[in-house]
Amino acid sequence: MAGKPRVGVLALQGDVREHLAVLTALGADARPVRRREELAAVQGLVLPGGESSVIDKLARAFGLFDPIRAAIADGMPMYGTCAGLILLADRIDGAIAGQQTFGGLDARVARNVFGSQTASFETDLDVPALGDPPVHAVFIRAPAVVEWGPDAEPLASLPDGRVVAIEQGALLGTAFHPESTGETRFHQRFLARVHARSGADAPAF
């Protein structure tokens, strides 16, 4: 349908279906992206949770690494959750040998700062940019932002000060998984950027 934003979810590994479901429910034309031509057909891209080093390797194997970096440089809106946040960061703590990121977000992100899968937890976060109510956040082998540049803006942090949501220009990242809890406001924020870049009116969610 005319007016629907065409957005993709990088579908190499991770929780792809959950993001597609949220974006579709919000009225987007959401589709998996595995090839260069599929990336070229969308106006925004979600980088899902999963294993950041695996997604990195697969993106290079599928010929998507450089096109995604070019899309970021060109201003395409992107939203990364958990592993996706790591992939957007310019710098990583705890990277495996040879691991690369798409970059674009002037931040240093530490991998697995909260421990293993068994150390997963849930909490409520105040996110002033989203208003009330608080965001119920699920952290699964999650990263955290430990350093950021002047153009990046933290959106949410834990009581100990570790930043777990951040944005910079067209890039948005969360260390947690809104797609698994019914929380849609981060996806709405992403889609609003897609609409703004296309020159269309922002949707009324």
Name the catalytic one among 18, 19, 167, 177: 177
| Paired tokens of 196 | 């703004």
Considering only CA atoms, which of 205, 174, 148, 194 is closest in space to residue 87? 174
Is residue 177 annotated as a catalytic residue, yes or no?
A: yes
**Cα gap 189→169, rounded to integer Å:** 12
Q: Which of 82, 167, 183, 195 is catalytic?
A: 82
Report the C-alpha gap between 162 and 165 in whole angstroms: 9
Catalytic residue among 18, 167, 179, 183: 179
18 is catalytic: no
SS3 of the chain: the string is CCCCCEEEEECCCCCHHHHHHHHHHCCCEEEEECCHHHHHCCCEEEECCCCHHHHHHHHHHCCCHHHHHHHHHCCCCEEEECHHHHHHEEEEECCCCCCCCCCCEEEEEECCCCCCHHHCEEEEECCHHHCCCCEEEEECCCCEEEEECCCCEEEEECCCCCEEEEEECCEEEECCCHHHCCCCHHHHHHHHHHHHHHCCCCCCC
Q: Give the residue numbers marked as catalytic.
A: 82, 177, 179
